[in-house]
Structure 1
Amino acid sequence: MPNLFGKLINWLGTVGSALLCLLALWAPLPGWEVAGVGVDWPLIWVVCWSVGRSAGWGAVAGLALGWAQDGLTMARPTHALGLALVGILTARLQKQRFIQEDFISLALITFAMAVLSETCLAVQYSLLDMVPLPEVWSHHQWVALGSALISSLWTPLVYLPLRWWWRKNESGTP
């Protein structure tokens, strides 16, 4: 029974941290924006989660946080597609040993994955004809770069506590 309790606590901590990252989207604090673009906390969480896990777990985490973000914001275009790709690619990079678990590697991965995620949203805007095409791609450049810069800088704030939590509770790792 104690092992089951430990796994439950680990899952609650993991889900709780994901929910905190979703709620942090609505905490506009000074220094959390670049060019009017805020930190993509769910993306950071998916990158941190996917390092050291399988691509399947990365996809599940990306879809779950993407759908939750869609439920809290606008569902069209969906954030789930971009975050699922982020989870899969981050896990694949780790499995291929292209990255290590250090701050610099995670910041670089977060930078690249933020650009990928924002590009997925821009492609969806283009396909859905929600905004004129030239506006989508000119706006996309600023949003992608701003999101990538600020998110990669804040990655250690999420990664350090999560890494400590998951290593502390390795026996019940989700």
Structure 2
Amino acid sequence: MVNWAVIFGSVILCLLMLLTRLPGMELLGIGPNWLLIWVVAWSVKRTPFQGALAGIVLGLLQDAMTSPDPTHALSLAVVGCLTALLQKQRFIQEDFISIALIVFGMAVLVETIFAFQLIFMGDRNTADIWGYYQKVALASAIVSSLWAPVVYFPLNRWWQQLKLAEQQS
């Protein structure tokens, strides 16, 4: 029960942080993608299905706060699945650098998927989308990867303690 409260509370906090811009939290007007960071933190030790499901749920929550067209659920689902696959293949270790690099790469992927969705909608100029995409993707990747430990390490520590308690009982 407490685990669900921590999960729910951390997701709500990340949703609220999407609306907040504190000094030093943005680059070129772009802030961290807190939900992306949460999905990566969740997916690192879970199955691809669990990662994708978390991405879909958080993406739909973000769509509910912003605009559903184009959706954030698709890109966050892909991130959740790929992050889980990276860990399952043991391509990564869990440390500060690895998590920051995963978040950096996944932030670029999220913005790429979002840009493709905008292009496929067909109501905007493709050159304008790609010009804006380059700025947003790089800024989002840098800022999100720098802030990733703020979300990852407390949640990871909580989940490790919970797993340890389950093994002892």
State TM-score, norm by structure 1. Answer: 0.92
Distance in 1 of aligned mates of 2:124 and 2:30: 18
Aligned length: 165
Is 1:54 aligned with 2:47?
A: yes
Identity %: 54
**Partner of residue 158, structure 2:** 165
Is 1:118 aligned with 2:118?
A: no
Superposed, 1:11-160 pairs within 5 Å as: 11-160=4-153
Q: Work out which structure has the larger RCO, using CA pairs closer than 8 Å and 6 or more positions apart in sequence.
A: 1
TM-align CA RMSD:
1.0
- 1:39 is paired with a residue whose SS is coil
Displaced runs of 4 or more, over 2 A: none
- 2:90 is paired with a residue whose SS is coil
Distance in 1 of aligned mates of 2:78 and 2:12: 20
Distance in 2 of aligned mates of 1:130 and 1:144: 21
Which segment drifts farther, 14-23 or 108-117? 14-23
Gaps of 5+ in 1: 1-7
**Partner of residue 4, structure 1:** none
Distance in 1 of aligned mates of 2:124 and 2:96: 37
Distance in 2 of aligned mates of 1:23 and 1:65: 13
AA aligned opposite 1:44: I
State TM-score, norm by structure 2. Answer: 0.95
AA aligned opposite 2:83: T
> Displacement, 1:30?
1.0
